[in-house]
Amino acid sequence: MDPVVVWAVGICLFAGCVILYLALRRTTRQTARDAAERSTYRDLVEHGNDAILVIDLADGRILLANGKAAELLGYSKEALAKRTIFDLHDRADLQRSATRMADAWQQGGLVYEDIPFVTADGTSLPVECSTKVMRYGVRSAILLHARDIRERLALQRRLAAEQAAVKERDERLQASLHYAHRIQTALLPAGDRPSTVFAESFIISRPKDIVSGDFHWFAQVGDTSIVVAADCTGHGVPGALLSMIGITLFQEAVLTEGITDPGKILDRVRQGVIHKLNGNGTEATTQDGTNAAVICVDSRTSELSYAGGFAPLFLVREGTLVQYKGDRMPIGPQERGTRPFNTECFTLLSGDRLFIGSDGYQDQFGGPQGRKLMSSRLMNWLVETSTLPMDVQSRALQDRFNQWKGLLDQVDDVLLIGLQR
């Protein structure tokens, strides 16, 4: 044989041996690394706080399970290693389970809790599963953390039941409040024109809640027209209940007993408030009561008489405002005893405008600095808008109130009555 050929064959054989040796060494090292990685994974998985499974992406076989998973599912770790992830799901959930595995592979992992596990004794176990794609040796695998969510779901059910009960109670309360509003409205006079004594008038009534502690009341006794604006303690249900007492007492004082002097009307209503609040064995306090303004106008003489308890009367005449402050005492019990309400009188002129109401308008917070509107600003606005027709003035005052309030909550019931001779 040609020595050159022999030499070439020898070189090829030697090179092949070297390549084979290097490949075997690389394979051995890779195998060692894979074994080391699997050992590390096993340690991490075994000491994890959640139930952990390592799942072969090719066929769903469980490659590794920790003690937590065995405890949670009721199998031994060896038994789990003989099963697939699909063996741990109900037959009805197999398609979804396969879809979740595919989604995890495409997305690199995902979290879901819509597929419960089935334990060794057949119990359906709700779990939150968090998955991540990984390499396990030479295999592509899914690392699955499963967390028992039975307690969380039970808590959610309890919270949902409690929320449903609260919603039902709220709906019943709202229905009751709307019915109370209907009753309260039925007690108030219809329309916004107290009598023919006044050429024009308006009523701005804005309850803070469904029902209001503010109320207005009109009456006609002979030639005398009577207008009342009242603000009962509080707002909402307590104020509304007290307002019903107030309306009844004004009706008794004026329509039953025929009293037409404003001061005496307030005296009589105050007496009734104290009597009714003490009537059930509880003692009325200084916080129980009403602030009110009463106007009586004799249509024959245009004589106006006024009395008020913490409720002023504003008179705008030819662009000038005059404030009648009334008495600084409520229509209710007082610590230092009671004294009669004073009645003030003057003659109405054509074009005069009168304003009475509650303190809800001027007590509203708002403006650039979030402060109270205050009576001084209200009085300026009453003068500035006094040349407008009454219906336009009403809208202007409501617009200014809304602009002042802005996004802040309404703090109290609002009542403002405007009257023009």
Please enumerate in sequence order all residues whose Cβ is within 8 A of that of 216, keeping only pairs 6 or more positions apart, or say none: 188, 189, 203, 205, 227, 228, 229, 230, 415, 417
Which phi and psi (to 5°) does residue 220 adopt? Answer: -130, 120
Residue type (1 letter), 48: G
CA distances from 105 to 131, 143, 419 (A): 9, 11, 78
Domain 178-420 in this protein, CATH class:
alpha beta
Write down the pLDDT at residue 10.
57
Write down the pLDDT at residue 196.
67
What is the C-alpha radius of gyration for the chain, rounded to an integer number of angstroms? 43
Spatial separation of the C-alpha atoms in residues 217 and 226, rounded to whole Å: 8
- Angle at alpha carbon of residue 64, lines to 60 and 66, rounded to 5°: 130
Write down the pLDDT at residue 375.
97
pTM metric for this prediction? 0.65
Write down the pLDDT at residue 288.
65
SS3 282: coil
pLDDT in tens, the chain (421 residues): 566 555 655 565 655 555 655 555 565 555 545 555 555 555 556 666 789 999 999 999 999 999 999 999 999 999 998 999 999 999 999 999 999 999 999 999 999 999 999 999 999 999 999 999 999 888 899 999 999 999 999 999 999 999 999 998 888 877 776 766 676 666 666 655 666 678 899 999 999 988 888 999 999 999 999 999 999 986 677 777 888 899 999 999 999 999 999 999 999 999 999 888 876 555 555 456 799 999 999 999 999 999 999 999 999 999 999 999 999 999 988 877 789 999 999 999 999 999 999 999 999 999 999 999 999 999 999 999 999 999 999 999 999 999 999 999 999 999 999 999 8
Contact 263, 340 (CB under 8 A): yes
Query: b/e for 215-248, b at 16 or more Cβ within 10 A?
Result: bbbbbeeeebbbbbbbbbbbbbbebbbbbbbbbe
SS3 135: strand
Per-domain boundaries in the chain: 36-152, 178-420
Write down the pLDDT at residue 31.
52
Find, among 313, 321, 315, 317, the residue nearest to 342 by Cα.
Answer: 313
Q: Which CATH superfamily is domain 36-152 in?
A: PAS domain (3.30.450.20)
Which phi and psi (to 5°) does residue 221 adopt? Answer: -125, 105
Write down the pLDDT at residue 240.
79
Spatial separation of the C-alpha atoms in residues 7 and 11, rounded to whole Å: 6
Write down the pLDDT at residue 372.
97
CA-CA-CA-CA dihedral for 346, 350, 353, 354, to nearest 10: 30
Spatial separation of the C-alpha atoms in residues 416 and 13, rounded to whole Å: 112
Write down the pLDDT at residue 255.
94
Contact 388, 352 (CB under 8 A): no
| 326 beta partners | none
Spatial separation of the C-alpha atoms in residues 222 and 275, rounded to whole Å: 29
Query: b/e for 339-351, b at 16 or more Cβ within 10 A?
Result: eebebeebebeee
